[in-house]
């Protein structure tokens, strides 16, 4: 079965420090990979995606993610966290020709 | 990026009534629209996929007679929760994709509360 894991329910980081939100997946073939952010009572906002090419993908708001095929991971990173980055982050994969599969989400809290 | 709207953003209704939620793609033609349900502190669960002009495809365990989906045009899909009950209270999110396989744009969500 296709699945996406985000091993941490919660990540706490101090403002100005680097942050990492982890994601691993188990799907067949070469899926498209995505990160979305959700603020309270809002829909999902697109951050970045990996389709093909360079393993390091740069996205919105200074976020980036690194695709690692051997580890089937797609961790989200940011060099310097802001308090306004505090939100719920979802990793998602889309196997070719199939629907999105979302991870359970990781709540990021950036402490001032 | 493309914009998807949902209306209403919040609705409170009495048990037994039906509620309609609209999802619109504002600046692109959505060949496919998706409806998700999200419980508090949980991920999105895909309920159904709809293509314009055809019947929706429901995920296993989703009652098609309870959650009626209509995708009448390339810019509008509606989800009707029929005879709503308190357990139907949730955050409903729609998304839409155009002709590109890798793109899916999400609406802001609708919070349904059934008393």
- Give per-residue pLDDT as tens, A76-98: 999 999 999 999 999 999 887 78
At residue B86, the 3 state secondary structure works out as helix
Name the phi and psi angles at A84, rounded to 5: -70, -10
A95 lies within 8 A of chain B by CB: no
CB burial string B25-52: b at 16+ within 10 A, e below: beebebebbbbbbbeeeebbbbbbbbeb
Identify all chain B residues contacting A90, using CB atoms and an 8 Å cutoff: 43-44
Output DSSP code: residue B55.
P
Contacts of B60 (CB under 8 A, 6+ apart): none
How far is the alpha carbon of A10 from chain B, nearest alpha carbon, in Å? 11
How far is the alpha carbon of A99 from chain B, nearest alpha carbon, in Å? 9
Task: Encode chain B (115 residues) as per-residue pLDDT tens digits.
Answer: 678 999 999 999 999 999 999 999 998 888 889 999 988 777 889 999 998 878 899 999 999 999 999 988 889 999 999 999 999 999 999 999 877 766 788 999 999 999 9
């Amino acid at each position: 079965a296709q699945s996406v894991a985000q091993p941490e329910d919660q990540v706490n980081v101090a403002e100005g420090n680097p942050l990492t939100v982890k994601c691993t997946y188990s799907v067949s073939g070469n899926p498209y990979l995505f990160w979305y952010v959700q603020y309270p009572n809002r829909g999902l906002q697109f951050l970045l995606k990996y389709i093909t090419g360079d393993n390091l993908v740069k996205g919105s708001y200074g976020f980036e993610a690194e695709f690692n095929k051997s580890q089937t991971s797609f961790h989200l990173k940011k060099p310097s966290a802001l308090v306004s980055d505090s939100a719920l982050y979802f990793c998602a994969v889309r196997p070719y020709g199939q629907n999105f599969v979302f991870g359970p989400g990781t709540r990021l809290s950036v402490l001032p | 990026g493309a914009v998807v709207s949902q209306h209403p953003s919040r609705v409170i209704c009495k048990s037994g009534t039906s509620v309609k939620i609209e999802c619109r793609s504002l600046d692109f033609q959505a060949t496919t629209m998706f409806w998700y349900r999200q419980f508090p502190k949980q991920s999105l669960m895909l309920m159904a996929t709809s293509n314009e002009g055809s019947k929706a495809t429901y995920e296993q365990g989703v009652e098609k007679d309870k959650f009626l989906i209509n995708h009448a045009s390339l810019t509008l899909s509606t989800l009707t929760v029929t005879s709503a009950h308190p357990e139907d209270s949730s955050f409903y999110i729609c998304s839409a994709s155009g002709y590109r396989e890798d793109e899916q744009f999400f609406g802001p969500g609708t919070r349904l509360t059934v008393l």
